[in-house]
Amino acid sequence: MDRRRRGFLAGTAVALAGSVVGRAALAALPEPVIQSETATMPPLVPPNGRPYHAVVTLNGWTLPWRMRDGVKEFHLVAEPVVREMAPGFKAQLWGYNGQSPGPTIEVVEGDRVRIFVTNRLPERTTIHWHGQRLPNGMDGVSGLTQPAIAPGRTFVYEFTARRPGTFMYHPHADEMTQMAMGMMGFWVTHPKARHPLIETVDRDFCFLMNAYDIEPGASLPKIMTMLDFNLWSWNSRVFPGIDPLAVRLGDRVRIRIGNLTMTNHPIHLHGHEFSVTGTDGGPTPPGSRWPEVTVDVAVGQMRQIEFVADAEGDWALHCHKSHHTMNAMGHDVPTMIGADTRGVAERIAKLVPDYMAMGERGMGDMAEMEMPIPDNTARMMGGEGPFGSVEMGGMFSVMKVRRGQKVGDYADPGWYRHPPGTNAFEWTGALDAPARFRAEGQGAMPVGKPIDRPIEVQVRKPGGDAGHAGH
């Protein structure tokens, strides 16, 4: 953690001398802080202003600000970035300040906020501050509330963060392209004092859900894709590239989730029940809360869930759409379960080098297959756990609840050591045939005699001739 914190302050946060913005303008601009690492950074303890309990962005970071005459000044730079989406797989995306998504912005209810947005993209952009109460002219909708920010130009947004809660930011200019390329970021406004609907928590995590369509072996997303994305990511990372959520046993935990993909994601947590304590519309009143283990986050929505992490272990946290816990693959693969493909691969391999028959026992083998994949491609599924492959990809992570996790320590504690005798185990005794097989067909409803004559079936077409009616 210390290594990371030092890295955050010294090694990886690089002040950028802009060639885009003139020197006179730079004198008034806060230096943009650029992040080059994909590791989850520790919470940014506010150095000034009203104190708050900072969030932790999964595989992300919070943007430092400059306090100037009581105004919190941030500088976002929209630019092409290289994002490592998983070890061994880098994508060419667009983002902010060196990463996609951009840095999380954290402010306090009532803060005056000034955000400089410099456009280093090859095309125009804006930023919309999703969910904020602000003057209409600061809403960031290209053409509607402002002219678009041309390449090379810097715009200033300024407003008071009026409402505490969970928000995000994203372009509102050529949205289809710019969001498909990864332009988005998280925004948290902390309450300025004790709030009747906002509890103090021990750990406060956040991430945005995004999706990309990148051919195996390629690195640039296809921006015309409407629905058939092949990479389902949290903060532009796919499992096993998503960091675990390290938690101390007994912690009250909040997880804030925003959805900027083109479909809904039912997010499921193992081992605990949570309630939805807020949306991008604000905190939910206690009377509206009920226990859940899965929360569906629709397109353009945000949800914050809360619970007490009272069960030690490694608990999966994932999207419940099973195709969203897989990485890029060919979609045109026929189902081969039960098919005997022995010999087929050898014959096809003579025509197609590197061909491999896929999944005759299900697709689980894919996780372990040492089949050749193109360079710069995340495996379809994998992730080595303590008992073998986790056989997951995409929107999957692990919440690691540990008695010994220190307050404020977000480092991965390693795999859970299960107390002896508490793991599922293999049965090694005798296996009698299950009783239900013997009972089948002999109960209160006998099968009856087999039908020994052909059955004639005729179909009546709607609106067809009644004379052809069958029976």
Q: Are the C-beta atoms of 93 and 102 separated by less than 8 Å?
A: no
- Take residue 147 and report the two structure tokens written for it: 């002219």
- Take residue 48 and report the two structure tokens written for it: 């000034």
Reference 171, options 231, 230, 280, 94; nearest CA is 94
Residue 175 — φ and ψ, nearest 5°?
Answer: -60, -40
Reference 262, options 303, 311, 212, 337; nearest CA is 212
231-234 and 388-392 beta bridge pairing: unpaired
Residue 7 — φ and ψ, nearest 5°?
Answer: -60, -40
| Residues contributing to the site for Cu ion (CB under 5 A) | 265, 319, 321, 324
The SS3 assignment for 325 reads: helix
- Take residue 233 and report the two structure tokens written for it: 């990511």
Residue 39 pairs with which residues in a beta bridge?
A: none
Reference 59, options 99, 25, 92, 19; nearest CA is 99
Complex with Cu ion: residue 165 or 394, whichever CB lies closer: 394
Complex with Cu ion: residue 93 or 319, whichever CB lies closer: 319
- Cβ contacts of 460 within 8 Å, gap of 6 or more: 468, 469, 470
